[in-house]
Structure 1
Amino acid sequence: MSVQTVPILPSRDLDDVLPFYLALGFRQTYRQARPNPYLCVSRGDGFDLHFFGLPEHDAQNSLFSVVVSVPDTQALYDEFAAGLRSAYGRLPIAGLPRITRPRRKQGAGAGFSVVDPAGNWLRISSGAEETETGDRFERALLNAARQADARGDEAAGIKVLEAALRRHPDATDQERIPVLIYLAELLIRTGGPAAAVLDELAALDTSDFADQIADLTEQLND
């Protein structure tokens, strides 16, 4: 028996979400205006989403969420990111809508989150837990991602990363760079002093992270 479950998510106006999902590579498969606004989009392979119009919906405080398990989170992220850059001129990493980079989270495999213009969360996961690498900052990054990317508590994620940096003052530049990049992202999301962290990164050899830093700089200067 083949089973497919399709989530039905709210949006204040269906025109708020449709362009966003088209940018992610979905196509509209159905839409009606009356008697109730309703929209269906699909990327194929069972990745379907439905939306209903709810004029009183509060996107900033939305609790609606969908878990999507895929075999390769990085490949899907790359497709999503390319579409968003084309549609928005930059990668949206703060506010609504936004996307987080693929990261492992404590107790879970690699994944990333997408928050659409209506505040609905798509939690993309590989579904398989990965083994730890032994890096001195690994647990801090895992915990920070669980707090900030999974729970949406950026303030808690910032505290975890800042504490880890204080705890390891002897860390090498290459060990610190991923932590500083994530810290800058979370500070941008919360309106914190991200510029100081980016200035610190500018003094380091971040050539392997050029795309990530460019995304952060564009968002900060937007």
Structure 2
Amino acid sequence: MAGEVTIPLLPCGDIDEIAEFYAMLGFERTYRQLRPNPYVALCREDLNLHFFGMAGFDPEQSYGTCLVVVPDVAALFEAFAAGMRAARGKLLVAGIPRMTRPRARKNMGGVTGFSVVDPGGNWIRIVPPAGTQGEAATTKLGKALENAVVQGDSRGDVGQAVKILSAALARERESAAASDVAAAEDYLAELRERSS
């Protein structure tokens, strides 16, 4: 059988807040109900996300997550970022909601991906199709950056990511390539913004 479709149903505290956030990213509301339970369906081209409202829901405690497989991670990031900047004047990188920048991920074999953390605390993880080849880091600082990305962007442990990257920069700054140092410093600055 072919043509199956899976649509995640994710929790949130307020379906209208969720719909407004995703509208900024180019989604349209295709369905909304309040009774017998709050529910909203959102669509952006072939990407469908549905949300159910839960009274008293705490986004900080959410385990909601899904993978979104796309042919062009960078193009979707740029579209989302443009919408976010148009609506909010900047890319939201701290707190809830936020979006991570595309980075190679050690836990994905060096393949680039990014995450959107929506107002419900759901992690929408944008990844390329299976079989996409990535490039693993070969330098000490590059490997530390990949490890920090796993902690900070995949697990949400900003403190551990800062610790990994700060220690690696202290050890490797003088001997590392300027491009590795710049990438590590850029990510460290973003992590510090998230934790402030």
- The two structures have a TM-score, normalised by structure 1, of 0.82
Q: Which runs of 5+ in 1 are unaligned?
A: 192-222
**In structure 2, what is the equivalent of residue 94 of structure 1?**
94
Distance 2:39 2:144 in 1: 42
The superposition leaves residues 114-170 of structure 1 with CA deviations (integer Å, 9 ceiling, x where unpaired) of 000111110111143412353442211111111110011111111111121122131
> In the alignment, does 2:28 pair up with 1:27?
yes
Count of residue pairs the alignment pairs up? 190
Q: Which runs of 5+ in 2 are unaligned?
A: none
Q: Percent identity?
A: 45
Distance 2:37 2:77 in 1: 33
Distance 1:137 1:78 in 2: 27
**In structure 2, what is the equivalent of residue 187 of structure 1?**
192
SS at match of 1:138: helix
> In the alignment, does 2:146 pair up with 1:142?
yes
Contact 1:107–1:129, Cα closer than 8 Å, also in 2:
no
Distance 1:143 1:174 in 2: 17
**In structure 1, what is the equivalent of residue 79 of structure 2?**
79
State which of 136, 150, 157 in structure 2 corresponds to 1:153. Answer: 157
**In structure 1, what is the equivalent of residue 125 of structure 2?**
123
Contact 2:42–2:49, Cα closer than 8 Å, also in 1:
yes
Summarize the alignment of residues 40-55 of structure 1 with structure 2, pairs less than 5 Å apart.
40-45=41-46, 47-55=47-55
Contact 2:144–2:168, Cα closer than 8 Å, also in 1:
yes
Provide the aligned C-alpha RMSD in A.
1.4
Whichever residue aligns with residue 118 of structure 1, its letter is G
Contact 1:99–1:114, Cα closer than 8 Å, also in 2:
yes
Taking structure 1 as reference, are residues 137 and 149 closer, same or farther at Cα in structure 2, changes over 3 Å only? same
SS at match of 1:186: helix
Contact 1:147–1:153, Cα closer than 8 Å, also in 2:
yes
**In structure 2, what is the equivalent of residue 110 of structure 1?**
112
1:177 Cα deviation (Å)? 1.2
- The two structures have a TM-score, normalised by structure 2, of 0.92
Distance 2:101 2:79 in 1: 12
1:172 Cα deviation (Å)? 4.7
**In structure 1, what is the equivalent of residue 63 of structure 2?**
63
**In structure 2, what is the equivalent of residue 216 of structure 1?**
none
Contact 2:141–2:180, Cα closer than 8 Å, also in 1:
yes
> In the alignment, does 2:168 pair up with 1:167?
no
Contact 1:77–1:102, Cα closer than 8 Å, also in 2:
yes
